[in-house]
A = this chain, B = another copy of it.
Amino acid sequence: MYGLLGQIIATPGARDRLAAILVEGTADMPGCISYVVAYDMEDADALWVTEVWKDRESHAASLDLPAVKAAIAEARPLIAGFRNRHETLPIAGAGLPEDAG
């Protein structure tokens, strides 16, 4: 498996709209096991996105999906920056398919 996590910083007041765009645009991505959009509890402009993919290739391919491209284009003007971006190698855990290893 392949994982990503990090913060996306919205432009002031745009966090809710940005979250909606991310959730909507990432609903149907082959090989995506988990893509969670969450509010940061300390920074009112920050979102956390945590991702688990079947493999790195699935993630790379997702960037060519029409819905993802549209979401990125719509989201870009609402993004002020990124923080704490890390790649991970998910091992296992609750909520992951047993055979996803």
**Docked complex Cα distance between A40 and B94 (Å):** 18
| Chain B min CB distance to A23 (Å) | 5
How many copies of the shown chain assemble into the complex?
A: 2
**Docked complex Cα distance between A22 and B90 (Å):** 13
Please tell me the size bucket of the interface on A: 35 or more
| Chain B min CB distance to A82 (Å) | 15
**Docked complex Cα distance between A96 and B28 (Å):** 13
A sample of 20 cross-chain residue pairs with beta-carbon separation below 8 angstroms, ordered by A number, consists of: A3-B36, A3-B38, A19-B91, A23-B91, A23-B93, A26-B94, A29-B94, A36-B50, A36-B90, A36-B92, A36-B96, A37-B90, A37-B92, A38-B88, A39-B88, A40-B88, A48-B88, A50-B50, A84-B84, A95-B95
